[in-house]
């Protein structure tokens, strides 16, 4: 099952329950059979565009209400469950803590750089900024030939729309957090 199908299953059930509707009531409003709606909610069926359209029209919701994962109010993220965003074995690893979503304009990453290693960053487009914090070791940041040293416990904000590199010139593995902010105004 695709992520969109999982989102539709979760969101349809969430919306139906928030409106105190039974599957029978939902079927009556949408013209989609109770059994099909149940299969969609359980993730056992991939709804067609026509079926999704009937659901949207029947209960007056937008396409986005069905396909996007809804943010929970409280989310616990365990380090052991972080997905890898970018890595090079034995040199660095960037893992996603909070991925981009339409509800917020930032991404949050956990960073590890081995001693003596570095990596070239991506250009994330106009008005994107990186906020880097070193909580173990020191992180060197090179932004368009200007060098900055983030000492353990300190932070640096720099443009992610310019050429940059992150490095660990120390003797121990450096660890830190990166926050990538999209679409900020002028600094």
What is the distance between the alpha carbons of residues 159 and 121, in angstroms, rounded to a whole number? 11
Give the residue from 169, 161, 168, 162 showing the smallest Cα distance to 93: 168
Confidence band for 176, pLDDT divided at 50, 70 and 90: very high
CATH number of 3-67: 1.10.260.40
CATH architecture of 79-181: Sandwich (2.60)
- Residue linked to tokens 């304009």: 105
- Reported as type and span, the H/E element at residue 118 is strand 118-120
Three-class secondary structure of residue 127 per DSSP:
coil
Three-class secondary structure of residue 16 per DSSP:
helix
Q: How do residues 43-72 score in pLDDT, each as one tens digit?
A: 898 899 999 999 999 999 998 888 887 766
Global pTM reads 0.64
The length of the chain is 187
Task: Give domain limits for the chain.
Answer: 3-67, 79-181
Q: What integer is the mean pLDDT of 30-37?
A: 95
Taken in order 13, 17, 22, 27, the sign of the CA dihedral is: negative
- Round the CA-based radius of gyration of the chain to a whole number and report it: 22
7 or 73: which carries more pLDDT confidence?
7
């Amino acid at each position: 099952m695709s992520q969109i199908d999982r989102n539709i299953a979760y969101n349809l059930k969430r919306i139906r329950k928030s409106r105190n509707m039974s599957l029978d009531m939902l079927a009556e409003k949408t013209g989609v059979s109770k059994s099909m709606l149940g299969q969609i909610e359980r993730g056992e069926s991939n709804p067609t565009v026509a079926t999704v359209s009937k659901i949207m029209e029947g209960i007056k919701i937008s396409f986005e209400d069905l396909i996007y994962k809804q943010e929970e109010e409280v989310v616990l993220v365990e380090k052991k469950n972080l997905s890898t965003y970018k890595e090079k074995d034995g040199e660095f690893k960037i893992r996603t803590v909070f991925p981009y979503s339409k509800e917020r304009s930032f991404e949050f990453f956990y960073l590890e750089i081995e001693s003596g290693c570095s990596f070239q960053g991506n250009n994330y487009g106009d008005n994107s900024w990186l906020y880097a914090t070193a909580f173990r070791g020191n992180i060197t940041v090179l932004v368009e030939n200007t060098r900055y040293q983030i000492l353990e416990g300190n932070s640096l904000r720099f443009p992610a729309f310019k050429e940059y590199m992150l490095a660990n010139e120390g003797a121990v593995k450096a660890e830190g957090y990166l926050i990538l902010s999209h679409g900020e105004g002028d600094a």
